[in-house]
A and B are shown apart, each in its own frame.
Chain A
Amino acid sequence: MKGRLPYNVGGARIDRSRVLRFTFDGKVVEAHPGDTVGSALHAAGQTTLSRSFKYHRPRGLLCCAGQCPNCLVDVDGSPGVRACTEPVREGMTVTPQNAWPSLGFDALRAVDRVGGPFTPPGFYYKMLIRPRAAWRLAEPMIRRVAGLGRLDPGATERRWRTDYRRRHCDVLVVGGGIAGLAAAVRAAELGADVVLADDGPEPGGRCLAEGDGARVAALAERASAAGVELLQGASALGFFDGLVAVWQGSVLHQVRAARTVVATGAVEQPLLFAGNDLPGVMLSGAVRRLISLYGVAPGTRAVVAGVGDPALEAAVALRAAGIHVAAVADARPSPTGEAADALRAAGVPLLEGHTVVRAAGGSRVAKVTLAAPDGTRSRLRADLLVISGGMAPATSLLAQAGTSLEHDGERGRFVPADLPPGVFAAGQVLGHDAPAAAELSGAVAGADAAHELGLGDDASRALLAEDVSALRGASPGTPSAPPPAPPKGERGRCVVCLCEDVTVKDLKTAVAEGFDDIELAKRYTTATMGPCQGRMCQRAVNAVLAEETGRAPAAVGLTTARPPWTTVPLGVLAGRPYQPAKRSALHARHREAGARIEWAGDWRRAYDYGDPDAEIAAVHDGCGVIDVSSLGKLLVRGPDAAAFLDRVYPNRMSTLAPGRIRYGVLTGEAGRIIDDGTVARLDDETFYVTTTSSGAGAIFEWLQWWQADWRLDVRITDVTQSLSAVNVAGPRARDVLAVLAPGLDCSADGFGYLDARRGAVAGVEALALRIGFVGELGYELHVASAHALTLWDALVAAGARPFGLEPQRVLRLQKGHPIIGVDTDAETTPAMAGMDFAVKLDKDEPFVGRWALERLASRECTERLVGVVIEGEHVPGDGAVVVAGDAPAGRITSARRSARLGRGIGLAWVPNGLSELGSRIEIRDGGTTFAAEVVDAAFYDPDGERLRT
């Protein structure tokens, strides 16, 4: 591995004794455990990692800290992964993004060279508005050219899943650098429950690569000892009204802390010069990390250019690693300090007041042009240009929390001005660049947070006072110069926004066209809108706009900080793809019997058992049994149970005798149907209520809500899951039951229609309800779910044939029974659905929906649910349109061919003029037209003789 430094130089994180292999762009790359994809590729001489968004310019490692867009690659099919932070794994497949046909030769680079149609800012606004058709032609081409990787549209299974975790704590510290660690240690040692979220693989931040590794390691150890919950590889995505979302691998933590300490550090800024995005142009922090963490030589011959000490310190580190430093350009007129002295002593040309104006080369830096204060240019040969444009505090989270920022003109950066209650800041985000000062400020923030929570004592307050005064006296570090303005008259693009390929020239054009406010320029050019979230360009955009408009940087300001602060896969926010399935206690039997299982709401239900017509016939002529365990089942008990039901149902339930059943429809306050079911009175104070399957959960909650308001002496218990239910139906049902329930008087007189009885069926304690949704003699048997199988098996053995959901739908349609939510909608009133019989407006007590129902009763319905007989062999699909004089006038809600009746039947919504019996209507389903006649919806056994027999 040619790019590696000698074994005794740097490489703290890698294990040089072992070698891993992965592929990049089809080629095998060797790496050491501990490497990132980016460090291994750079060591292997692969300096171009991606192609830029619009112009397909080659891009390589810039920050080596997951802050910029330059190293985005596809890893094992997941696009948008940052190579510089992604740990290597044996056998991983890494593919470049946005390059065609290959990363080395990208044909679309021509767009960059000749200046294609994507050049102007505001392209989308200007070029594709009219004619509209232009977009259709341009879109596929734009999609090919512009992009950040590809998703596989054929992928069905999500490779990883994200869980939510809610964590309430005393103090959340965001950032595990020296300041964050110090804050966490102090708060935890004072007794606070502390969570620390750090996006690195190990705590320590930049200190790890910049000579303070031992110091942060000691702090991290103290933090663990004090009980701090350290979350590594955990990125804070945003601050939402006191809740901080932290993404860590397959978990999205939702942390709500009483106090939050933001120690997010600072982002090293690039410089503006021609060719500033060439591979080989690297921030000083990247160089430090490549050397100390990965033992990688960033280049062989370096020029360094910066505005402050970080650049000089990188030059020192490069020399220590044995890399030639040709020159160091410092924007300050006379830099002083340790690093400057060391460079001077070593005889490295330290060019005072010099700036870099151009980097040139094909796919990597080859020549660097520097400018002296008087404008004189000098050209140097180099394959590495180390830059440092100053440290911009990472204020995004603070700004989201409500912090205002002020401009520090001396260093050319924005710093927090005031902090909202409950929020503290520490370290570089506050401008404390020197590690010692950052550590002190962390301790102060941690102590302040703990004290505000009532922790600590006199000793801790005394310590805090000491720290505060020490922090005041601490060296702020040698000041840096404000970043120089972009050079004039140099050939080559001077890129401001790397993510979106926006140049200084583009921003100038935007200003010239009137988009001179930073928020407008952002939207017009898309600068700051890419995956780096403005980390690399916010400040530069501010500077260019300030220069172009002649306003102060403070007046230009920054764009609004919005979440997410870190790019995050949408899948993480979407969470787990849950689709919970409910299965009845009898599910296994249905499968064994060969049932077709279908979704019915949340339930998996038996649609049919392979022969729906035979199943229907069994119910008509013999005995069938269907699993109706999904019905909602509620016990309403208490001295006020009857009064309660009278207040929620529009009909009377208090007059129901024990052992009797009544059908009931539930209406909301506006008098619209919300559910229906049966109410059985078991004794004076106990009612057994069933609801529809789909309404089960909602109706239970709805009833509880009324009870919470009325506070009657009644308890409502949801027994939907504890009890299973089957409906045994057909002319032979009585015989089957009589055999299995010898203790039950099953005679027509002893157990009549709408009677409720308790007794043992097949040895299982059951509540038997004589009701008939399907129109034949029938019993609904409710038993403890644990015994449902016993009951089912006995019923089947006694000759009951299982029938599924679809046969049941046909059977109930023959009776004209609407299904709530299928044949009705949110606007349906009982009158419209022909269910006025279930509304008793003459009740004395108030009930839910009473006044609305009363008012509705005084008005004519404009449409009605009616039965229709459809001519011909076929029936329209559910949802087909009823037309009157060529205009849609209604719809079919259910239609089936009834073998028993020998015709097509259905339920339909029709307007008033068509609802009278005998009206002829026309139905259209796609291209097919059906003729139909409105009839009484009780198609089968209209007098209910079979039901009551």
Chain B
Amino acid sequence: MSFVLECPHCGPREVTDFRFGGEVRPGDDGGRPDAAALTRTLYLRANVDGVQREWWQHRSGCGAWFRAERDTGTNRVLRTAAAEVAW
């Protein structure tokens, strides 16, 4: 596996510069989940074959966390955005 991600701060870098943070998931809305929902939140992931939103950290660079849209089938990164940027 090898591809390039564009750090919103530093520019394009090899994937080995980054730490993968998994899927972007909806945050805690404050509502108490039942056991099944809690299990889903903690342990289950969508694991899509296709485009998904992900967290990445430019660990060997500026250290920032950002989001990316990546096709898990081809490893093509469609776009990246700094955490402050809404999308």
Contacts and interface: CB of A to CB of B under 8 A. Distances in A.
Interface string A275-314: 0000000000000000000000000000000000000000
Interface in B1-57: 1-4, 12, 14, 19, 21, 27-28, 30, 32-33, 35, 38, 41-42, 55, 57
Given A256-B14, A705-B57, A242 B65 contact: no
A850 B27 contact: no
Contacts of B77: none
A254 B14 contact: yes
Contact of B42 (A242, A256, A852): A852
Contact of A709 (B4, B27, B35): B27
20 contacts: A166-B14, A240-B1, A241-B1, A241-B2, A254-B14, A256-B4, A670-B42, A701-B19, A704-B64, A704-B65, A705-B21, A705-B57, A707-B83, A708-B55, A708-B66, A709-B27, A709-B83, A851-B28, A852-B42, A854-B32
B27 to A, nearest CB: 6
Interface in A796-825: none
Given A701-B59, A851-B38, A708 B64 contact: yes
B54 to A, nearest CB: 12
Interface string A850-881: 11101100000000000000000000000000
Given A168-B12, A242-B3, A708-B83, 13 more contacts: A241-B1, A242-B2, A669-B41, A701-B59, A704-B64, A704-B65, A708-B65, A709-B27, A711-B84, A850-B28, A851-B32, A851-B38, A851-B41
A477 interface: no
Contacts of B59: 701
Interface of A: 166, 168, 240-243, 254, 256, 669-670, 701, 704-705, 707-711, 846, 850-852, 854-855
Contacts of B66: 708
A376 B28 CA distance: 88
Contacts of A701: 19, 57, 59, 63
A846 B65 contact: no
A855 B83 contact: no
A243 B84 contact: no
Contacts of A711: 83-84
A233 to B, nearest CB: 24
Most chain B beta carbons < 10 A, residue from A670, A705, A851, A854:
A851
Nearest to B66: A708
B67 to A, nearest CB: 8
B83 A669 contact: no
A708 B14 CA distance: 22
A166 B1 CA distance: 16
A704 B63 CA distance: 9
Nearest to B14: A166
A241 B38 CA distance: 38
Given A256-B14, A708-B64, A708-B83, A851 B33 contact: yes
Contacts of B75: 241
Contacts of B19: 701
A804 to B, nearest CB: 32
Nearest to A670: B42
A704 B21 CA distance: 12
Given A240-B2, A701-B57, A855-B35, A846 B28 contact: yes
Nearest to B59: A701
Contact of B14 (A243, A707, A855): A243
Interface string B60-71: 000111100000
A932 B21 CA distance: 44
B80 to A, nearest CB: 13
A708 B64 CA distance: 8
Contacts of A846: 28, 30
Contacts of B3: 241-242
Centre residue among B1, B55, B57, B83 by max chain A CB count within 10 A: B83
Nearest to A854: B32
Nearest to B55: A705
Contacts of A240: 1-2
A669 B84 CA distance: 23
A855 B4 CA distance: 41
Contact of B38 (A254, A710, A855): A855
Contacts of B55: 705, 708
Contacts of B57: 701, 704-705
A852 B14 contact: no
A710 B35 CA distance: 25
B32 to A, nearest CB: 7
A716 to B, nearest CB: 11
A870 to B, nearest CB: 38
A618 B75 CA distance: 60
A851 B38 CA distance: 7
A414 B27 CA distance: 55
A854 B64 CA distance: 32
Contacts of B12: 168
A832 B50 CA distance: 41
Nearest to A845: B30
Contacts of A707: 83
A850 B29 CA distance: 12
Contacts of A168: 12
B82 to A, nearest CB: 9
Contacts of A242: 2-3
Contacts of B32: 851, 854
Nearest to B84: A711
A343 to B, nearest CB: 51
A218 B46 CA distance: 58
| Residue from A166, A243, A254 having most chain B Cβ neighbours under 10 A | A243
Contacts of B42: 669-670, 852
Contacts of A855: 35, 38
Contacts of A166: 14
A714 B23 CA distance: 24
A701 B55 CA distance: 12
Contacts of A850: 28
B3 to A, nearest CB: 6
Interface centre among A240, A708, A846 (most CB of B within 10 A): A708
A314 B59 CA distance: 57
A696 B84 CA distance: 25
Nearest to B24: A709
A670 B21 CA distance: 16
- Greatest chain A CB density within 10 A among B35, B41, B65 is at B65
B70 to A, nearest CB: 13
Given A701-B63, A704-B63, A243 B38 contact: no
A241 B15 CA distance: 12
Nearest to A241: B2
A636 to B, nearest CB: 16
A701 B65 CA distance: 9
A709 B2 CA distance: 26
A423 to B, nearest CB: 15
B29 to A, nearest CB: 8
Nearest to A240: B2
A851 B41 CA distance: 10
A852 B37 CA distance: 11
Contacts of B65: 704-705, 708
A707 B75 CA distance: 27
